[in-house]
C-alpha cells in the first residue's frame, strides 16, 4: 500500500528506519524525515558532505553513515535543534562499496580496491566530545603470514583504530 509520494532534489542512495524517523542519504546530504499526513516531512538535514551517502546504520543514538569517497562517519541527532553533529569520522579517504556495523563502536567495510577494513571509535562519549591536539601515528606496513598487507593508523580525536587488509593484488 502506497502511503506517501515525496519528491527529492537528488538521487536517494541510502534509506534507513531509525527512531520513528526515516534517514536518507539524498545526494550529498544526510536527511531525517517524519511521516506527515500528505508526504514525508524533512526534520533535519546535514548538507554539503564530501560525496554521496551510500549506506546508513544506527544503534541507539548513534548514526553510522558511509560516504562513497570519504569512508565512515558517526553522527548524533539533536532533537531540540533538529540537527546532526559529527562525533567521529575516519581520516583516510576510502571509496566504500559496502559497510556493516559490528557493534556500538565498530564498523567494517569494503572498498573498490578489494580491501576490507575495520574502524573502531573510542568507547566513551567523553573521549568522542574532547578535542585533543591533532596528531597522527602510523605503524609501519606489515605483511601477514598469508601474504596480506596490513596497515594501521591511529588518530586520537577520530577513530581509535583503522586496519586495512588487501586481498590478492599488491
What confidence score (pLDDT) does residue 121 get? Answer: 84
Digit-coded pLDDT (tens) for 71-91: 999 999 998 999 998 888 888
pTM for the model: 0.72
pLDDT in tens, 116-141: 999 988 776 445 454 433 333 333 44
Domain spans in the chain, listed from the N-terminal domain onward: 12-120
The confidence score (pLDDT) of residue 31 equals: 96
Q: CA 112 → CA 67, 97, 99, 116, 117, distances in Å?
A: 13, 6, 12, 10, 12
Q: Select the more confidently predicted residue: 96 or 128.
A: 96
pLDDT of residue 1: 78
Architecture per CATH, domain 12-120, reads as 7 Propeller (2.130)
Amino acid at each position: 500500500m502506497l502511503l506517501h509520494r515525496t519528491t527529492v532534489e537528488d538521487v536517494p542512495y541510502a534509506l534507513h528506519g531509525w527512531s520513528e524517523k526515516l534517514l536518507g542519504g539524498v545526494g550529498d546530504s544526510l536527511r531525517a524525515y517524519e511521516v506527515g499526513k500528505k508526504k514525508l516531512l524533512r526534520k533535519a538535514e546535514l548538507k554539503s558532505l564530501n560525496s554521496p551517502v551510500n549506506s546508513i546504520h544506527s544503534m541507539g543514538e548513534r548514526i553510522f553513515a558511509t560516504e562513497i569517497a570519504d569512508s565512515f562517519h558517526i553522527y548524533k541527532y539533536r532533537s531540540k535543534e533538529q540537527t546532526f553533529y559529527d562525533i567521529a569520522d575516519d581520516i583516510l579517504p576510502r571509496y566504500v562499496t559496502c559497510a556493516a556495523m559490528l557493534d556500538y563502536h565498530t564498523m567494517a567495510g569494503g572498498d573498490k580496491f578489494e580491501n576490507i577494513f575495520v574502524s573502531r571509535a573510542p568507547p566513551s562519549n567523553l573521549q568522542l566530545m574532547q578535542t585533543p591536539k591533532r596528531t597522527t601515528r602510523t605503524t609501519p606496513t606489515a605483511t601477514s603470514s598469508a601474504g596480506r598487507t596490513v596497515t594501521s593508523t591511529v588518530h586520537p580525536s577520530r577513530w581509535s583504530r583503522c586496519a586495512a587488509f588487501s586481498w590478492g593484488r599488491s
